[in-house]
Structure 1
């Protein structure tokens, strides 16, 4: 049995979980050794009682890892373990990182520069508009947007990132073969088709339930550099995500709403308790620091080596902007691009914290 097969088998077993598996690995050394251990040795491990020991000893009654791996390949889904280079490094800092991840699409190293955006499933038009604006701004500036593919705010967060031609990660609370909600299958396909990934720690055929969603929330919290709550009531799973992120030492941002709106009460409570009030993506970028991008065709500095190059138009306009103030007309003439293209591109470069706009429609590079 390979290590992958053994890990998949352990992940398929009920009532085990990543914390118990970690203890088992510390005791037995390898995943295969766990599955081959006698029951009397299994129950010696801290947290492994008679019931769990019996499940592990008779694991073949509960799991068929070969069939699970074969179905994953058939569906075009990768299984990534903690030992794989593609495993998201921020998750390894969590107390209970997922034993493995099912990945539809591709997780890239640059996705560690992530911001979680969460909120209510019953989003108002205000909440959706704010979320799309902020997600668009942050994804356009190079951050990967992490959310849960749920109805409402999550859906809008992913859509905003896609509209900015940025990256987004959807962490779902079910198996990938039981994608929930089903009406978001089209959105999931767009994400997986070169714009990010849909991921789950649950076996393929796992349906969603009340336990899987809080487990999903801890992944969003651990993966993200910061978590932004754009709209939610007082009792909301989004507050669970924010609290988990706070325990991980992440910054929490919240968007205010009307004091009469029950759909913003959760955000107001977060702000009262110390979350940073946000109404524009630029505030988060100033707080966290902009990402460094490299114009296409130029050598990358070390901090930027893992980040995507600028588009051809962005690189061309960026090259025309110097440290001295440049009037926009001069940039247009020097680039040879149409004026509307240049002005739109300058806005993108400004959001990426590469240039700054000065009075009189003049631009310069950020120092």
Structure 2
């Protein structure tokens, strides 16, 4: 018997699922196996150990069911869920993200801090190096701003480097963004991005995790979370990555899940570009502007591509239409700080509205 998507979850069943979720050696596939075999988590928890052994489950799983730590952890999660903007989405229920439910091993429980409804909106994952170069983070921010303006939720792993730049840029333009953690939501890692995560939640975005709330950073959990980043998304954009980067794992998972894979090329002399070049050789779409992504996803009816902001009134473009400028001259004429000018110029260049020739910026006339 398989749990119906219409089966309501009682408080007792929710508590049983939270207990089941905390057991050692119970991953998504064994969790689903137990639900299918017993019909509910409540029945699985109360079933004799022999029935668990008959399913081929380790003895440690059945023995841990009644451990105080398991019961206490489930009780703590129930109290956590009583707080504002705290939710848990359960596989097999109507509010579970539809795209994520399609992957081979969807998480049985997904803890959400923030707005869970944005998980059903069209998402584009952006990933890359934790030790990204300045051009890399600038590119991530520029693409994130444009994609958020085009109606996408920006999804990433809340790591340092490219991930943080993508999340922050989406927040800065009033867009929505989803951070997927490799730890529990109450054991945040990396702590340096905690303030960013709080800002995301406060602005109507969300931070999610499949792990129990108190789960700390374990190396093996971060590749696992990558399948959620790609599984929630229509496609994955790799901005900057070495050949050993975990971002390539996300890209491989995306391809296996039938999602689009995009990569931004870079200098052949930059180690952070080699992972992207490898992806492109393997069939990822080479991306130079946001239009390359929008074209690939144009058939997705729910993405409001027409809402991309018009560049006509951009203050830097008005200056460039009047005369070519260096970036320093633009900063002086506009009154903007130079880093803000450089980021905006990168975005305008990627969108095909400006070009740099011999150290001077010019507006491109379409």
Q: For the superposition of Structure 1 and Structure 2, which TM-score range results when normalised by the shorter chain? A: 0.7 to 0.9
Structure 1 residue corresponding to 2:62, chosen from 33, 53, 59? 53
Show the counterpart of 1:287.
296
Structure 2 residue corresponding to 1:39, chosen from 18, 37, 49? 49
Show the counterpart of 1:169.
178
Show the counterpart of 2:95.
86
Partner deviation per Cα, 1:304-354 (whole Å, 9 max, x = no partner):
8xx79979x99xx9xxxxxxxxxxxxxxxxxxxxxxxxxxxxx99xx9xxx
Structure 2 residue corresponding to 1:117, chosen from 108, 116, 126? 126
Show the counterpart of 2:35.
25
Q: 1:61 to 1:158 in 2, by over 3 A?
A: closer
The CA distance in 2 between the partners of 1:308 and 1:235, in whole Å, is: 34
Structure 2 residue corresponding to 1:142, chosen from 138, 151, 160? 151
* Number of aligned residues: 306
The CA distance in 1 between the partners of 2:291 and 2:173, in whole Å, is: 15
The CA distance in 2 between the partners of 1:241 and 1:173, in whole Å, is: 13
The CA distance in 1 between the partners of 2:300 and 2:281, in whole Å, is: 30
Q: CA deviation at 1:83?
A: 4.1
Q: CA deviation at 1:74?
A: 4.0
The CA distance in 2 between the partners of 1:309 and 1:106, in whole Å, is: 25
The CA distance in 2 between the partners of 1:308 and 1:69, in whole Å, is: 40
Are residues 1:4 and 2:14 paired?
A: yes
Structure 2 SS opposite 1:179: coil
Q: 1:8 to 1:110 in 2, by over 3 A?
A: closer
Show the counterpart of 2:109.
100
Q: Is the 8 A contact 1:162 1:195 kept in 2?
A: no
Q: CA deviation at 1:51?
A: 2.8
Q: Is the 8 A contact 2:157 2:181 kept in 1?
A: yes
Q: CA deviation at 1:250?
A: 0.9
Q: CA deviation at 1:128?
A: 0.5
Q: Is the 8 A contact 1:114 1:146 kept in 2?
A: yes
- Structure 2 residues not aligned, in runs of 5+: 1-10, 314-346, 352-363
Structure 1 residue corresponding to 2:244, chosen from 216, 225, 235? 235
Show the counterpart of 1:127.
136
The CA distance in 2 between the partners of 1:309 and 1:104, in whole Å, is: 30
Q: Is the 8 A contact 2:25 2:61 kept in 1?
A: yes
The CA distance in 1 between the partners of 2:92 and 2:46, in whole Å, is: 21
User: Once superposed, what is the RMSD of the aligned Cα atoms?
Assistant: 2.8
Q: CA deviation at 1:91?
A: 0.9
Partner deviation per Cα, 1:268-321 (whole Å, 9 max, x = no partner):
1001111110011111001111776xxxxxxxxxx68xx79979x99xx9xxxx
The CA distance in 1 between the partners of 2:69 and 2:132, in whole Å, is: 43
Partner deviation per Cα, 1:86-142 (whole Å, 9 max, x = no partner):
321111001111111111110225744111100000000111011111111111100
Q: CA deviation at 1:21?
A: 1.0
Show the counterpart of 1:365.
none
Q: CA deviation at 1:62?
A: 2.9
Q: CA deviation at 1:60?
A: 4.5
Show the counterpart of 2:316.
none
- Structure 1 residues not aligned, in runs of 5+: 293-302, 318-346, 352-359, 363-367
How do residues 207-286 of structure 1 correspond to structure 2 at under 5 angstroms?
A: 207-286=216-295
Structure 1 residue corresponding to 2:163, chosen from 144, 154, 164? 154
How do residues 193-204 of structure 1 correspond to structure 2 at under 5 angstroms?
A: 193-204=202-213
Show the counterpart of 1:63.
71
Partner deviation per Cα, 1:211-252 (whole Å, 9 max, x = no partner):
111111010011110000000101011011100111111111
The CA distance in 2 between the partners of 1:254 and 1:228, in whole Å, is: 6
The CA distance in 2 between the partners of 1:188 and 1:51, in whole Å, is: 35
